[in-house]
Structure 1
Amino acid sequence: MKPVTFAALGSLALALTLSAAAPLQAQTAPATVASLEQIFRAEPYRGENAKDAAFSRSGRYLAYLWSPFGEPGTDLWVHDTKTGKTQRITSPQVMAAFESPEDMERFDRKLRQRNTEYAERQAREVAQQAYLRGEKVDLSQWENAQLAVLKKELAEKKAKDEAQKAADKAEAEAEKQAMAALAAKRAGKPVPVAAPASAASSPDKKDDKEKEVWELRDELKKKLARDKLKPSDLYPGPAQFVWAHKADELVFQYRGGLYRWKADDKLPAVTPLVATQRELRLVAYTGDDSGVLYTDETRVLRTSLKQPGVQVVNRELIHGDDEQQKKYKIDQTAISEDGRWMALLAKAPLKTADDKPAPPGRQVEIMNYSERWATAKKVNREVSDDKRSEKPLALYIRQVAAPGEAPRKQAEPVFTNAGGDVWFEMSDVAWARDGSRYAFTTWERDKELLRVYIGATCPRPASTPVAPQGGAAGLGSGPAACADESAKPEMVLERRGEVGHEVVNVIKPRFTPDAKTLVLALDEAGWRQPYAIDVATKALRPLVKGEFEAHQIIGFTADSKALFVLANQGDTAAMNVLRVDMASGATQALGTAGEFHRAAAASEDGRWVAANAGNWAQRPELKLLATDAKTAPRTLTDSTDKAWAQLKLLQPERFNFTNRHGDRIEAYVFKPAGWKAGDKRPAVVYVYGGPLNDRHIVEVDSFQNTAYLFGQYMAAKYGYVTVAVDPRGHSNYGRKFSDANWERAGEPQAEDLEDLAKLLPAQYGVDARRIGLNGWSFGGFQTQYTMYTRPDVFAAGIAGAGPTEWENYNSWYSGRTIGKATDRTKPVLRKYSLLPLAKGLKHPLLLVHGMQDPNVLYQDTVNVYRELLDSGKDALVELYLDPDGVHAMGGVVKPAGWHRKYEAFWLRNLGRATP
């Protein structure tokens, strides 16, 4: 497959980003507009993206987890960069050698069930629409077929039960006769003659009567509930793998077992190492590649590749300050690459004053109406006015014991946090390649305090070899000659305030290969970008400059002179791989312009980068990029059904505009065939508006259901102008945008939406009286906020699953994006509630929600609906509910039907285009 450049889209990405004043050319609509049933097909057109790509130490091999379209799970694949060949290492057929036949039969049976369900659901969707068009369609055929199968199963079960009863009765009669014969023999009496078998009693009329249809439907409902597919029903494929430190070989984890694969075998095959029924997690190879380290829930274990057996490297941790020696649970384990050191992050169980397990935090009830009587289930919910129960945390730095070495006394932790009523977050521990140093960061939200720590370990002389199995050889007189395992790390950077609200989860410190520099993403100048801390001097310096986001550090060149990072430099809707010179800050883009690169990995020799990359013209696939920028990219996967291309969907056009504050706001638009700037067409604007960590809506590889797929449908079929916009509040546009909601939830976005609505009539052929607004989740909140506070801007709105009362939303999000909970004794975020604003509604509003949503609770929609009714908006507001749906729906309401509801709502309230 040849990579598609943005030239294939008509022009380069930057050329597509037009100013608000520049007129857009209408694109040609497809001859036949794909129906909603085709667009939102029951079986998704898109399979799984490749994930967890990682290169072997030599850089020759790239391993990744992926399966072709339509196949379950994610299998292990290895690409040889030298030969250009790709090999599939695992598959259901390969792993069947290590599975029970019963499990493999279940995987196969459930896969057939899944495919059958896809086909039947699609057929029902198509038939229902044909029925509504007046065609003669039997809508009961699928239920009748299911009932026929059920009746057969019930008859077979009844026959089996009756046969078993007859057999049991005959066995009882025979046993009775045998006992009677034995008793007669002992008494010296003749053995009684067995009575002739009695004729089978006639079945009870009630049992013989066939179940009525309604009874069969009840039975069918139970059967469907029993047979409902679960993730564990399908073949999963490997969950994780790690490469060796020296050899081109790896170990992968699959369903409680560890397996080995070697690239240099003449006939590469999978070899089992460890088989358990426990949840295992791979950590790393030992320093000399002679074994593998892995964890279960409480211990670090080691298995040799040369001889059988498992050794405990670290036992359960003990809380040193507790007289009763309560045990910590190992939460994370990180092994240094030389295999000599390990970092153990552990958390202690929460206990009350009388040493009983701490009660669960706040729980809320969600009602299930699928049974005869409603039932409730509980979900965890922590809100801003809750006192927190952070578990006590301890970080241990320990030497990895040599094989056969006697257990040593546990050292004191190098870092602790007492937990309790605090907001405390900690990054993963990063090791220098030679094991000489480790680093981590902490974030205390209530204090707005960011800290970076670097710790040192006992150095190994360059002339001293690594001990077998990563043991302690070469350390002088043994462990006592090393630095104290309890030596505390040094705090090398501290920042309080003005660091952004999304901190630790994107910082991710990493050492350069020479261990002289720690690189991490910081928000020092309003953009999340890589910074370098000199390990010797502790000096901090930026590695890039400019107004763009570049917080996903991929790796380094072998000489530590350059790093690789994902960045949206030059195009906020795309993300490219940059090679950054660490001395000068000069950048070089490695990927194809106009593609969004995700989940990237770099080889340790700095020659290759792998990333999932694509755009609206070519859906993302795993691509191999040569860092010399001379070799053409290689596409390694094919994840999309070929039927996708037959839909002939429209592609959007990019544009931007300047809001009232001088900010550049990005958007894209679908325009129908025959569009002219002087038209007065209906329009729909899609908005999200909240921080999404490292995402936003206007991205060149995003086929979002409503913004993209439904937007192009309304343009192609009904002549609408449809727009997706990223107002202030989104992530990956710098701190000014991502922090815009802080103590002003919804207001900055409403200003930007109002500015957009003003320019649409003059520049995009839109009727100012017929503009609709739509959003989901934060966008559902934003749609309502705008409709209530700017009631004359939009003619109608659809708000899906919006958090209307921020005091009831999860504090992990609201407390870092909406407002600080300075007082945990009362819900101070109530001031951002939509309920008092609802009386401002003037135009039709459709509220959409899944009634079993554990994220944004359905009660949020119920409560705002009550306020709307109470303020006399009965004629303006309507509800559309999925009784079984969660936050992304997914219950009885399917995407095609969902958007059919949207279609009817817009046509009813905005009308049709009349160019």
Structure 2
Amino acid sequence: MSPALFRQACCGLLALSLAALALPTPAQTAPFSLEQLYRAQPFRGQAAREAAFSHSGRYLAYLWNPLGEPGSDLYVHDIRSGQTQRLSSPALMAAVDSPEELQRFARKREQRDREWAERQAREEAQAAYLRGEAVDLAQWERRALETLKQEQALKKQRDEAQKAADKLEAEREKQAMAELAARRAGKPLPTAPAPAASATAPASAASAPQPPQREDWEWRDELKKHQAKHRLKPTDLYPGVTQFVWAQKGDELVFQYRGQLLRWRAGRPQAEALLLTPRNLRVLAYTPDDQGLVFQDETRVMRARFDSLRVEMLNRELVHPDEAERKYRIEATSLSENGAWMALVARAPLGEEGKPPPKPGRQVEIMGYGERFASARKVDREVSDDKRLVAPMALYIRKLPPPGGAPLPQTEPVFSHPGGDVWFELSPVAWSRDGRHYSFATWEREKELLRVYLGRADEQARPEVVIERRGDVGHELVNVLRPRFSPDGKTLVTVLDDHGWRQPYALDLASRQLRPLLKPGFEAHRLLGFSPDSRQLYLLANADDAAAMNAYRLNLADGSLQALGQAPDYHRNAAVSFDGQSLAAVAGHWAQRPELKLLRPGQPARVLTQSHDPAWSALDRLRPERFHYSNRHGDRIAAYVFKPPGWQPSDRRPAVVYTYGGPLNDNNNVETDDMHNSAYLFGLYMAQQHGYVMVTVDTRGHSNYGRRFASANWEAPGQAQSEDLADLLPLLAEQFGVDRQRIGLHGWSFGGFQTQYTLYTQPELFAAGIAGAGPTEWENYNSWYSGRTIGKVDRSKPNLRKFSLLPLAPGLKRPLLLIHGMQDANVLYQDTVNVYRALLESGKEALVDLFLDPDGEHGLDGAIKPVGRHRKMEAFWLQKLGPAKK
């Protein structure tokens, strides 16, 4: 699709069928059901991440594993030969990990696979049972109980054998003491009693172990306890590699596996152990000459040479006099690339010395219902009217001692902030490649003050403010503030949103002149790196398509952009080589699932991973069409639609609109690779199976459409989105074959709030709604989000209550299904309970339904799995909106 075509229409349908961009989907005969679509083991595998090139550009390393394999292992691709080498796996890590740990990982993986298979079989059997087929639904419990009884019988046998052995040993000890006493008294030795037959005779075949005698309900209780005890935890599965670092110049790297460091050199068949300690080590960098390594544990940074056992501590803890008011302790360390300087970010503990610091915010109780009686667990929560407890911070610039040199004297901080009842955010400290300058950014929410600082490598000199913005700063800019230097050290590049779009700006260090590098109109906030001559910048941007981040080469002199990726791929997890000749990114779209691709000038993309189950092709029966429309304010609103087989513009079919409506930093719903469970997969299902028209829309409020969209909720959450939804509905009726009286609205999280807001304030718009895990009381949501997205907070009172949905709930006129996980620590379950109460008190009993997961969190996945959630939604829509054609 060309950019010109994409911009032609401002209203109405502009079909952008991505099906035409791939081979036609073959005719499918496999069963098409929710049980298959949301099977226990997802079709989608993990995406490669942390891709990074060696300094020479010949090798690309990344973390990834094929479908079904737990953890993320380290792979290195040789660009010249085209070969990929796997550097870690359970088998390879046997050289540094204990056999017992690896065996435990293997058992837990078997348990996970077994549970996946059983869960899938249960779901399919339950569906068959509801279709009227003869199905034994008790078979899995019966099998589990039988296994438990066998385990209990063996345990009983072991316990009884141990008890008999202990008794025999006690009798022998008693006999020995009696004999000792007799010898001392000169008396005849007592006769030893014959051992009991049970202690000496082997068990016969007829005496097979028998489980304890219990009633059926007691065995079910035991099974519940057993399953809870052996429930899989994230730490149970093989983790793979945590991180790695390439050498400064050579083709070698060091990686971390379970806190241990291993070294690999190009041409070697496998990695070699470097540092194996019980501490959790993390590699930071090679020394400038590649002959050693800089690494850290929790906070200590150390340096060691490969040819020596000497380990030097570089960031010794700060020492303060007893009378010092603030006794800072190191929190983070940033090293210059040339190994000459370091920046230490330190914080002074709050409260009395030697005692735990006070916690910010409060604790709220979340009730659990898994035991005989309900019990509460407490979770930390900081809401809008909680006073903040920000620890005082200080920044130290320290010269690194030469290898083998004595520690250098401690210096005073070059920058500090007193902390307190404020929002203060500090970006990571960035160093120029030559180590002459450093930079960082700060954001002070109450002052609406953004600053970028520039400092020189000097232990005494304070950094200067080189960029300052007050009041006119988009709240999503804070997340992408990462100042960085060009390789020649002459330019500082940072992202700003001076013209309403997050884009890079360049500061000339000599003249202190700041200039934009791009023209406004799109988002370009993911900076990847520079060309060696500092003339070009590599970045991700949605310059040609708001729904697809592409990789670009930006000419810093004239601002021209050259696309490096292929439309309509969405590019994520991207990295550029030091020489600028190679780029790697996880890229794909709806018709071609995302994989790690190597992009080089003049060559076709090289696909390096195969992450997803090919069986997905049997369910990939429809592709959405993208369109856009203009709202009442002239904003361009993006959307996509699944049209059912046999669709005609003259149809009058039911439709469901999925929306979110809130900012997500770098994500939205209408993205060319996004196959969201409810927006995409359920849309595909309802269109294919029931003939519904299924629409997903990015209203104002979403990210990556500029500040106007991302800030749309400020002091009016939900209003802009409801306007955009209202402006969509006539278009659906006129051009999409939709019955205007049979349109439903659905959203999750912020979308759950948005669904309720729209149904309460404009009750005639939609025929029904499903609201999942929606924050209905913004004063109770976390203050980091609400204070930057919803409205200005007052820490003396819960003033965000003015945006509560409870007073609006009586406006409901159409059916509403509320869904929530009762263990949700993100959006509290009480938000749904309280709005449910308000609905009941206003006489809406016949309109509102409640669907709760007693064990579910924000995305559910407790008792309610994805397939169960969408079964409920399917039944609700069919009941409230009716069949495709009446």
Q: What is the TM-score when the length of structure 2 is the normalising length?
A: 0.96
The answer to whether the aligner puts 1:21 opposite 2:19 as a matched pair is no
Query: C-alpha displacement at 1:308, in angstroms?
Result: 2.3
Q: Compared with structure 1, are the counterparts of its residues 25 and 90 closer, same or farther at alpha carbon in structure 2 (3 Å cutoff)?
A: closer
CA distance in 2 between partners of 1:647 and 1:781 (Å): 31
Match of 1:316 in 2: 317
Match of 2:156 in 1: 158
Asked whether the 8 Å contact 1:623–1:635 carries over to 2, the reply is: yes
Counterpart of 2:737 in structure 1: which amino acid? G
Query: C-alpha displacement at 1:80, in angstroms?
Result: 1.3
Matches within 5 A, 1:213-612: 213-263=216-266, 265=267, 267-318=268-319, 323=324, 326=327, 328=329, 330-352=330-352, 357-359=357-359, 361-457=361-457, 483=458, 485-612=459-586
Query: C-alpha displacement at 1:294, in angstroms?
Result: 1.3
Q: Deviations over 1:719-749 (max 9, x none)?
A: 1001000000001000000000000100000
Matches within 5 A, 1:139-154: 139-154=137-152
Match of 2:596 in 1: 622
Deviates more, 1:191-200 or 1:100-109: 191-200
Query: C-alpha displacement at 1:354, in angstroms?
Result: 10
Asked whether the 8 Å contact 1:14–1:571 carries over to 2, the reply is: no
Deviates more, 1:100-109 or 1:79-88: 79-88
Q: Compared with structure 1, are the counterparts of its residues 911 and 285 closer, same or farther at alpha carbon in structure 2 (3 Å cutoff)?
A: same
Asked whether the 8 Å contact 1:849–1:881 carries over to 2, the reply is: yes
Counterpart of 1:361 in structure 2: which amino acid? G
CA distance in 2 between partners of 1:16 and 1:103 (Å): 57
Match of 1:187 in 2: 185
Matches within 5 A, 1:83-94: 83-94=81-92
Asked whether the 8 Å contact 1:283–1:333 carries over to 2, the reply is: no
CA distance in 2 between partners of 1:520 and 1:854 (Å): 35
Counterpart of 1:606 in structure 2: which amino acid? G
CA distance in 1 between partners of 2:847 and 2:481 (Å): 46
CA distance in 1 between partners of 2:4 and 2:773 (Å): 33
CA distance in 1 between partners of 2:54 and 2:589 (Å): 28
Match of 2:202 in 1: none
Asked whether the 8 Å contact 2:15–2:626 carries over to 1, the reply is: no
CA distance in 2 between partners of 1:711 and 1:656 (Å): 18
CA distance in 1 between partners of 2:312 and 2:876 (Å): 65
Q: Compared with structure 1, are the counterparts of its residues 652 and 892 closer, same or farther at alpha carbon in structure 2 (3 Å cutoff)?
A: same
Query: C-alpha displacement at 1:418, in angstroms?
Result: 1.4
**RMSD of equivalent CA atoms:** 2.0
Asked whether the 8 Å contact 1:256–1:280 carries over to 2, the reply is: yes
Match of 1:75 in 2: 73
Deviates more, 1:42-51 or 1:192-201: 192-201
CA distance in 2 between partners of 1:112 and 1:426 (Å): 44
Counterpart of 1:102 in structure 2: which amino acid? E
Return the match for 2:806 from 814, 818, 835.
Answer: 835
Return the match for 1:655 from 627, 648, 665.
Answer: 627
CA distance in 1 between partners of 2:8 and 2:269 (Å): 49
Asked whether the 8 Å contact 1:19–1:655 carries over to 2, the reply is: no
Match of 1:471 in 2: none
Query: C-alpha displacement at 1:85, in angstroms?
Result: 1.6
The answer to whether the aligner puts 1:802 opposite 2:802 as a matched pair is no
CA distance in 2 between partners of 1:45 and 1:320 (Å): 60
Match of 1:461 in 2: none
The answer to whether the aligner puts 1:133 opposite 2:131 as a matched pair is yes
Match of 2:44 in 1: 46
CA distance in 2 between partners of 1:311 and 1:268 (Å): 31
Counterpart of 2:260 in structure 1: which amino acid? G
Asked whether the 8 Å contact 2:10–2:636 carries over to 1, the reply is: no
Counterpart of 1:897 in structure 2: which amino acid? G
The answer to whether the aligner puts 1:753 opposite 2:725 as a matched pair is yes
CA distance in 2 between partners of 1:320 and 1:61 (Å): 50
Match of 2:214 in 1: 211
Return the match for 2:676 from 679, 694, 704.
Answer: 704
Unaligned runs of 5+ in 1: 1-5, 202-206, 458-482
CA distance in 1 between partners of 2:16 and 2:647 (Å): 8
CA distance in 2 between partners of 1:792 and 1:189 (Å): 106
Deviates more, 1:383-392 or 1:853-862: 383-392
Q: Compared with structure 1, are the counterparts of its residues 357 and 508 closer, same or farther at alpha carbon in structure 2 (3 Å cutoff)?
A: closer
Query: C-alpha displacement at 1:12, in angstroms?
Result: 8.7
CA distance in 2 between partners of 1:502 and 1:873 (Å): 38
CA distance in 1 between partners of 2:74 and 2:299 (Å): 28
CA distance in 2 between partners of 1:13 and 1:36 (Å): 39
Q: Deviations over 1:252-271 (max 9, x none)?
A: 011111110011x4x33211
Aligned partner of residue 239 in structure 1, secondary structure: strand
Counterpart of 2:416 in structure 1: which amino acid? T
Query: C-alpha displacement at 1:319, in angstroms?
Result: 5.3
CA distance in 1 between partners of 2:356 and 2:34 (Å): 56
Aligned partner of residue 425 in structure 1, secondary structure: strand
CA distance in 2 between partners of 1:22 and 1:789 (Å): 28
CA distance in 1 between partners of 2:164 and 2:790 (Å): 70
Q: What is the TM-score when the length of structure 1 is the normalising length?
A: 0.93
Aligned partner of residue 293 in structure 1, secondary structure: strand
Q: Compared with structure 1, are the counterparts of its residues 398 and 321 closer, same or farther at alpha carbon in structure 2 (3 Å cutoff)?
A: farther
Q: Deviations over 1:552-606 (max 9, x none)?
A: 0001111000101100012100010111100100110000011100111111111
Counterpart of 2:183 in structure 1: which amino acid? K
Aligned partner of residue 235 in structure 1, secondary structure: coil
CA distance in 2 between partners of 1:18 and 1:370 (Å): 55
Deviates more, 1:671-680 or 1:735-744: 671-680
CA distance in 2 between partners of 1:602 and 1:417 (Å): 36
Aligned residue pairs, count: 869
Match of 1:740 in 2: 712
Counterpart of 1:349 in structure 2: which amino acid? P
Match of 2:868 in 1: 897
Percent identical pairs in the alignment equals: 62
Counterpart of 1:570 in structure 2: which amino acid? D
Match of 2:205 in 1: none
Unaligned runs of 5+ in 2: 200-209
Q: Compared with structure 1, are the counterparts of its residues 210 and 125 closer, same or farther at alpha carbon in structure 2 (3 Å cutoff)?
A: same
Q: Compared with structure 1, are the counterparts of its residues 306 and 697 closer, same or farther at alpha carbon in structure 2 (3 Å cutoff)?
A: same
Query: C-alpha displacement at 1:359, in angstroms?
Result: 4.4
Aligned partner of residue 91 in structure 2, secondary structure: helix
Query: C-alpha displacement at 1:307, in angstroms?
Result: 1.9
Query: C-alpha displacement at 1:318, in angstroms?
Result: 3.8
Counterpart of 1:743 in structure 2: which amino acid? E
Aligned partner of residue 493 in structure 1, secondary structure: strand
Asked whether the 8 Å contact 1:665–1:727 carries over to 2, the reply is: yes
CA distance in 1 between partners of 2:750 and 2:502 (Å): 23
